[in-house]
Amino acid sequence: MTWNDCLEKYLHQCSNRVSKVSKIPRLSISLASKLLDELPNLKIIHLIRDPRAIMNSRDKFSWTPVPGGAVSLCKKIMADYLSSVEVKRAHPGRLYTVFYEEIAGNPIETFRGIYDFLGYQFSKNDQIRLTARTASSKQGNAGSTYRFNSAKTASTWKKQINSTVLKETNKACFSVYQLLGYPEFKGS
């Protein structure tokens, strides 16, 4: 399938749907919020993840090494969070912040909150589908959404993170941890 085929399929599938969802990693909240004025039905879900987990992942793929990668990541997380507070004031009920760790650790309740924010009912079938992905009998690869135990998977970084990556990320992100309530972790 070519890129054009994929785009055409996506546009066709979206054209007859009531809701359209797009995942846009690394888009700043300040930029995304500009769309709220233009699109009155748009709602934004702001996903935040522990920067140590992100830096562990980036280290595995040799992306954005420390300390520079951690510094820029935590500046962005801080800016996005502070922007989200302003956006929530300017556009009540249009931006919802959720933590990755909440999704992994308590998926049913977290998705009930997301569905409520979006104005949908969280059905028994939705719960079954979500449970199949977060407490599955099969483990997917890193890009898959199937997990034996999503909470355990979400904290795996704690056993894998390189001590230098952890130390530098802790230095760069201390104020983010304080603001967002992430607990101290200095290694195992």
**Which two three-digit tokens encode residue 86?**
């302003």
pLDDT at 133: 83
What is the average pLDDT across 167-184? 97
**Is 5 a domain residue?**
no
Provide the number of structural domains found in the chain.
Answer: 1
What is the average pLDDT across 94-117? 96
Residues 37 and 181: their CA atoms lie apart, in Å, by: 31
Q: Is the pLDDT of residue 146 over 90?
A: no
pLDDT at 9: 73
**Which of the two residues, 15 and 101, has the higher pLDDT score?**
101
What is the average pLDDT across 176-182? 97
Q: What is the CATH number of the domain that holds 46?
A: 3.40.50.300
pLDDT at 63: 87
Give the domain extent around 157: 27-180
Angle of CA points 68, 69, 70, to nearest 5°: 95
**Is 2 a domain residue?**
no
**Which of the two residues, 78 and 26, has the higher pLDDT score?**
78
Mean pLDDT estimate for the chain: 89
